[in-house]
């Protein structure tokens, strides 16, 4: 699929989710901290979104990232700070909970700043090689073979520390609240 086709598909998913939730373009832009013109361009498929922008939009829509980028294993994206993500697995539980499993690749010096996700979204990070510094309300250094878990209801960030690193991230998103 071409970059233009991917941007159009993501834009259509954003618009459909926004309309399904009964949220205006202006309200979503305000809640996500994204410019209204930017959001309009994304929905029209005229702009390629960053991971940061998609996460910002996911929070108010109470959706997992995969709902916007596509639910196909192997879907890849690169964050502004150089971190790469690959969707490894996606599960929809009968109760509406979504579980996403991503491989995170951090070239040396890569970092990623993530806005708050929706209510009660939980992240589990297992570092498989190198060292990753995670900042939430405090900073945690996670070495290969170690893990950390947090509720991502506030801004948080990841950064490779001392060289390249890889990790597996499991994000559990509860079902959306009724509109």
Residue 95 in any domain: the answer is yes
Same domain, 85 and 148: yes
Q: Are residues 30 and 83 in the same domain?
A: no
Verify that 80 and 140 share a domain, yes or no.
Answer: yes
Residue 178 lies in a domain: no
- Statement to judge: residues 88 and 140 lie in one domain: yes
**Cβ count within 10 A of residue 89:** 11
Determine the distance from the C-alpha atom of residue 94 to the mean position of all C-alpha atoms in its chain, rounded to a whole number: 22
**115 and 168 part of one domain:** yes
Give residues with Cβ within 8 angstroms of 90, minimum separation 6: 66, 71, 73, 98, 99, 100, 101
Q: Which of 74, 68, 159, 47 is nearest to 117 (CA)?
A: 68
Tell which of 51, 69, 87 closes a domain: 69
Q: How many folded domains does the chain comprise?
A: 2
Of the pLDDT bands very low, low, confident and very high (cuts 50, 70, 90), residue 10 is confident
Please indicate, yes or no, if residue 57 is contained in any of the structural domains: yes
54: tokens are 């998609």
The CATH number of the domain holding residue 155 is 2.60.120.10
pLDDT by residue (tens digit) across 120-159? 899 999 999 999 999 988 899 999 999 999 998 888 999 9
Mean residue pLDDT of the chain comes to 87
**pTM listed for this prediction:** 0.74
> How far is the C-alpha of 90 from the C-alpha of 98, rounded, in Å?
7
Task: Give yes or no: residues 56 and 106 share one domain.
Answer: no
Task: Judge whether 179 lies within some domain.
Answer: no
pLDDT of residue 5: 79
Same structural domain, 167 and 88: yes
Q: 1: which 2 tokens?
A: 């699929």
Residue 172 pLDDT exceeds 90: yes
Give the three-state DSSP class for 40: helix
Specify if 130 maps to a domain.
Answer: yes
What is the predicted pLDDT for the residue at 71? 63
Out of 79-83, 93-97, 165-169, pick the least confident: 79-83
Q: 168 and 147 in one domain?
A: yes
Q: Let me know whether 56 and 9 are in one domain.
A: yes
Main-chain dihedrals φ then ψ at residue 115, nearest 5 degrees: -70, 170
pLDDT at 3 over 80: no
Q: Does the residue 52 lie in any domain?
A: yes
* Gap between the Cα atoms of 113 and 106, Å rounded: 13
pLDDT level of residue 74 (50, 70, 90 thresholds): low
115 in a domain, yes or no?
A: yes
Range of the domain at 20: 3-69
Q: Clarify whether residues 87 and 17 are in a common domain.
A: no
* Residue 174, phi-psi category: left (phi > 0), alpha (psi -120 to 50), beta (remainder): beta
């Amino acid at each position: 699929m071409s970059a233009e086709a991917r941007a159009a598909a993501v834009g259509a998913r954003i618009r459909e989710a926004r309309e399904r939730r009964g949220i205006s373009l202006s309200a979503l832009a305000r809640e996500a901290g994204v410019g209204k013109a930017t959001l309009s361009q994304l929905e029209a498929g005229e702009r390629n979104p960053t991971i940061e922008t998609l996460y910002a939009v996911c929070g108010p829509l109470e959706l997992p990232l995969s709902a916007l980028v596509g639910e196909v294993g192997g879907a890849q994206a690169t964050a502004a700070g150089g971190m790469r993500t690959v969707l490894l697995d996606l599960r929809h539980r009968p109760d509406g909970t979504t579980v996403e499993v991503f491989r995170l690749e951090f070239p040396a010096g890569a970092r990623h700043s993530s806005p708050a996700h929706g209510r009660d979204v939980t992240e589990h990070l297992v570092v498989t090689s190198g060292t990753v510094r995670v900042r939430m309300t405090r900073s945690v250094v996670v070495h290969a073979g170690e893990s950390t878990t947090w509720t991502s209801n506030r801004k948080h960030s990841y950064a490779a520390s001392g060289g390249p690193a890889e990790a597996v991230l499991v994000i559990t998103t509860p079902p959306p609240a009724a509109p």
